[in-house]
C-alpha cells in the first residue's frame, strides 16, 4: 500500500501543536527503544502487538505513527488503513529524523 501519507518532522510538530482534534501519537518500536527516547504523549504499541491492540486506538481520530527510521511505522500505517482507519500518517524518517531536525538534544541510537 503505497498511499500511506508521510509527514515530515516539522509537519508532525505543527500538527501536534495545533490539533484541536485528538491526534493519537503511536510509537511502534520495542519497549527498550521507547525507554531510550520517545516523544511526549506517545502511546507505545510495538509493531508485533498492533494486531491485538489496535482497538486501543480511536479509528475516528487522526493517528500519527513513528518508529526509529520510518519503516516499521509505514507497515503499521498500512495495517491500520486496511483495518478501516482513514486518518493515518507516518512520521517520515522516524524519531531519528525528529531528533536531527526538531530536537537535537534527544538521544540518537
* Dihedral angle sign, alpha carbons of residues 47, 56, 98, 2: positive
Active site residue 78: no
Do the domain assignments include residue 58?
yes
Q: pTM for the whole thing?
A: 0.94
In the set 67, 80, 95, 97, the catalytic residue is: 67
Percent of the chain with pLDDT over 90: 91
Query: Which residue in this structure is represented by grid cell 527510521?
Result: 69
Q: Is 82 a domain residue?
A: yes
CB contact burial 54-70 (16+ within 10 A = b; e otherwise): beebeeeebbbbbbbeb
CATH code of residue 71: 3.40.250.10
| Number of domains observed in the structure of the chain | 1
Q: Is residue 108 part of a domain?
A: no
Dump pLDDT digits (tens) for 20-60.
Answer: 668 999 999 999 999 999 999 999 999 999 999 999 999 99
Domain extent for 75: 5-101
Whether 109 is covered by a domain: the verdict is no
Amino acid at each position: 500500500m503505497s498511499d500511506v501519507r508521510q509527514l515530515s518532522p516539522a509537519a508532525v510538530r505543527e500538527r501536534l501543536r495545533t490539533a484541536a482534534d485528538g491526534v493519537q501519537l503511536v510509537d511502534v518500536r520495542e519497549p527498550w527503544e521507547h525507554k531510550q527516547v520517545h516523544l511526549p504523549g506517545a502511546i507505545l504499541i510495538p509493531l508485533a502487538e498492533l494486531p491485538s491492540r489496535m482497538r486501543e486506538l480511536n479509528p475516528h481520530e487522526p493517528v500519527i505513527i513513528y518508529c526509529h527510521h520510518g519503516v516499521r511505522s509505514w507497515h503499521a500505517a498500512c495495517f491500520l488503513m486496511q483495518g478501516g482507519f482513514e486518518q493515518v500518517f507516518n512520521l517520515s524518517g522516524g524519531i531519528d529524523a525528529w531528533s536531527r531536525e526538531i530536537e537535537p538534544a534527544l538521544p540518537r541510537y
